[in-house]
Chain A
């Protein structure tokens, strides 16, 4: 198998994707960030400190184990990488610890972040508290209402949550507002982006901080099964848990499979499947695939899982798709919901609704995977505790009808 070209290039491009589409005011800031990141990521002291926090604070390495009853039921081997067992319940914290450590090295005292469901907001508030920095989290007013408990969690952790009233009042607008704040307070503020999106160097940096997932998984799966898996499956919102597990396997003979949210179905128009729809554009500082209309206006996304509810996708996924190195499929709300229950019954693991999308694809494709003699590794990016309310309300509602 051919070795993949190193991406991004010096201008932050993954093939045609990525780049830096931000106001002039921010160009020196992303330059400064890139310089600092390139310096500290090879610094022995920085690496040791990050490793110590990941081990003794986050709880890494996370386990990887064969899912016995699921494997039995499907007729092929399934392994689960357990990012749900991280502190705060998802992979998001791998990235926020890394970025906040970097912010400290850069002597920025104020942290800002965007959040949709609140998972990245909680992970950022956690890291800011750990290092004694001020955190302000931008969150769409609609999400503040829908995710009241996560708002309260961030407040308990000492962060200030700023409701965003513009546009669709969801994640994309929270991201716009975080960028506006960064433009205004650029000299003192570090912007912690929550996925492999945004202007260069963010997609590269977030990928690198999340790559710990794939580095561990590669060792663990070889140890547990004696060989590499045939498929690695991850859900894709912005795409950070996916890039994190894919990246260390990029030069291996392994199929990389990203699962987007098909929401109520691709034909319904209510979905978050940017790659499946496949229209190139620029949002939040990078060129990638987007949900947009004929005039280039960004269209609202929809998914049952708030973490996949984003109208764009990270530029490196766009690149992996275009180059054919990874394959992307979409799974509906209903399929994800069924997989949420199914995994709980098979393995005693309630996955996040986001992660349930990856599980759902494996269940849907079971006949073909069985025929191929597949050995599948699924990234369980987070735990479903945060979604129990949503699922409960949905199912009560269905019964009421």
Chain B
């Protein structure tokens, strides 16, 4: 079979960035915000703006790992009637491009069933998913369903994570999502000083790319963290930019990501 699995596509994206001596740019936005209809344009704008991987949020009513900005995006998306099936259908119609992964909570996944969801995600052209309320101790069943479809269930590591968790990363796929702070998502002024040590611990444990997320809001922060890790993830700050420019969301995505990418290129 010549078709690349989702996990392979993710690794290839990191490798391509590394080949040009820079960190990968990973962008996040919520499906259904500001409307579901603009999602294809946002995906295209993210690619044009220089993203290497796109995270797409499936909105959930009770996003307990998210700060106020992403809570608001999710609740607006739901208030407009954004449905999981509609997200899957829309993504399934998009041309293939850079790898796309879902970010959602365990209940919407459980509701469809782990095995059906994995198949549906693959059919929608997804490469994997991040589920922040499914810690490694609870994730083996979904990880199996994902592996079966060649998808990556991307693990999160926090500043508080134990060595036992680090050792468990050996069986992980895709990349490791390093959470830069103890806290919820949201743009921050400064980034925790301990992040370098955390990335070093992850690298000792596993040979996967490491991307840093939670709180990155400026090109300068991205540039600096691009020296520490293999990728940087921007979500809340990008969503804030979308909120400030609802009339032209695709332009907002491009305008936000392009300087980030230039900062990563310049090192």
Chain A contacts to B: CB under 8 angstroms: 11, 19-29, 31, 166-167, 172-173, 176, 179-180, 183-187, 280-285, 290, 292, 294-298
Q: How many A-B contacts are there with CB distance less than 8 Å?
A: 119
Give complex CA distance A272, B78 in Å. Answer: 21
Considering the chains assembled together, what is the distance between the CA atoms of A373 and B183 in angstroms? 56
Choose one: B65, B78, B106; the contact of A183 (CB below 8 Å): B65
Report the bound CA distance from A282 to B67 in whole Å.
Answer: 20
- Top-5 shortest CB links A-B: A296-B111, A25-B158, A296-B108, A184-B183, A296-B107
List of B residues within 8 angstroms of A284 by Cβ: 62, 64
Assess A166 versus B71: contact at CB under 8 Å? Given A23-B158, A183-B182, A281-B110: yes
B238 to chain A, nearest CB (A): 20
| A337–chain B nearest beta-carbon distance, Å | 30
Residues of A within 8 A of B161 (CB): 24-25, 27-28
Minimum distance in angstroms from B123 CB to a CB of chain A: 18
Whole-angstrom distance between the alpha carbons of A285 and B65 in the complex?
12
> A298 to B110, alpha carbons, bound, how many Å?
13
Given contacts A282-B133, A283-B62, A296-B111, contact A25 B138 (CB under 8 A): no
Q: Which residue of A lies closest to B160 (CB)?
A: A28
Contact, CB under 8 Å: B107 / A179: no
A29-B160 contact given A176-B62, A183-B184, A298-B107, CB 8 Å threshold: yes
B201 to chain A, nearest CB (A): 13
Q: Can you name the residue of chain A whose Cβ is closest to the Cβ of B161?
A: A24
Please give, as numbers and ranges, the residues of chain A lying within 8 Å of B60 by CB-CB distance.
Answer: 296-297
Given contacts A166-B75, A187-B182, A282-B106, contact A25 B62 (CB under 8 A): no
Candidates A27, A172, A292, A294; contact of B135 at CB < 8 Å: A27
Q: Inside 8 A of B242's CB, which chain A residues have their CB?
A: none
- B13 on interface, CB distance cutoff 8 Å: no
Q: Report how far A364 CA is from B78 CA in the complex, Å.
A: 40
Question: A27 — which chain B residues lie within 8 A by C-beta?
Answer: 135-137, 160-162, 165
Q: How far is the CB of B121 from chain A (nearest CB, A)?
A: 15
- A19 touching B138, Cβ below 8 Å: yes
B84: chain A residues at CB < 8 Å are 295-296
The answer to whether A20 and B138 touch (CB under 8 A), given A25-B179, A180-B64, A186-B160, is yes
Contacts of A180 in B (CB 8 A): 64-65, 67, 183-184
Within 8 A of A (CB), among B67-123: 67-68, 71, 75, 78, 83-84, 105-112
Task: Give me 15 A-to-B residue pairs in the complex whose CB atoms sit less than 8 angstroms apart, sorted by A's number.
Answer: A21-B134, A23-B135, A23-B179, A27-B136, A27-B160, A28-B161, A167-B61, A179-B64, A183-B182, A185-B182, A290-B107, A295-B108, A296-B107, A296-B109, A297-B61
Q: Chain A's interface: helix, strand, loop or mixed, by majority?
A: mixed
Q: Kindly list chain B residues whose C-beta atoms are within 8 Å of the C-beta of A184.
A: 182-184
Query: What distance in Å separates the Cβ of A176 from its nearest Cβ neighbour in chain B?
Result: 5
CA–CA, A234 to B165, complex, Å?
41
Given the contacts A187-B182, A295-B111, A21 and B62 also touching, CB distance less than 8 Å: no
Q: Any chain A CB within 8 A of the CB of B26?
A: no
B237 interface hit (Cβ, 8 Å): no
A-side contacts of B135, CB under 8 Å: 20-24, 26-27
Interface size, B (range): 35 or more
Question: Taking each of B84, B132, B133, which has the highest tally of chain A beta carbons within 10 Å of its own beta carbon?
Answer: B133
- B179 and A24 form a contact (CB under 8 A): yes
Q: Please name the residue on chain A nearest to B82 by beta carbon.
A: A295
A23 and B64 contact, Cβ closer than 8 Å, known pairs A28-B160, A183-B182, A184-B183? yes
- Is B152 in contact with chain A by the CB < 8 A criterion? no
Q: Which of A27, A179, A298 has the most CB of B within 10 A?
A: A27
Contact of B132 with A23 in the complex, beta carbons under 8 Å = yes
Nearest Cβ on chain B to A27's Cβ, whole angstroms: 5
Query: Contact check: which of B61, B107, B136 meets A282 at CB < 8 Å?
Result: B107
Residue pair A292, B160 in contact (C-beta under 8 Å): no
> Are A20 and B61 also in contact (CB < 8 A) when A25-B160, A28-B162, A296-B111 are?
no
Least Cβ distance of A190 to chain B in Å? 15
- Given contacts A292-B107, A296-B111, is CB(A21)–CB(B138) below 8 Å? yes
B210 CB, nearest partner CB in chain A, Å: 14
- Asked if B156 and A23 sit within 8 Å, CB to CB, the answer is yes
Query: Within the complex, what minimum Cβ distance (angstroms) separates B69 from chain A?
Result: 11
B157 CB within 8 Å of chain A: yes
Say if the beta carbon of B259 comes within 8 Å of chain A: no
Nearest CB of A to B5, in Å: 25
Whole-angstrom CA separation of A184 from B215 in the bound complex: 13
Chain B, residue nearest A184 (CB): B183
- Bound Cα distance A47, B132 (Å): 37
Partner of B111, one of A22, A166, A173, A292: A292
Complex Cα gap A343–B257 (Å) = 65
B159 sits at the interface (CB 8 A): yes
Q: Which of B62, B136, B184 contacts A167 (CB 8 A)?
A: B62
Chain B residues, Cβ within 8 Å of A167: 61-62, 71, 75
Q: Measured between alpha carbons, how far is A285 from B105 in the docked complex, in Å?
A: 11
Contacts of A19 in B (CB 8 A): 138
Whether the Cβ atoms of B182 and A297 lie closer than 8 Å is no
> Which A residues lie within 8 Å of B157 (CB)?
24
Pick the most buried of A24, A185, A292: most chain B CB atoms within 10 A of its CB.
A24
> When chains A and B are docked, how far (Å) is the Cα of A22 from the Cα of B106?
10
Q: In residues 34-83 of chain B, which contact A (Cβ within 8 Å)? A: 60-65, 67-68, 71, 75, 78, 83
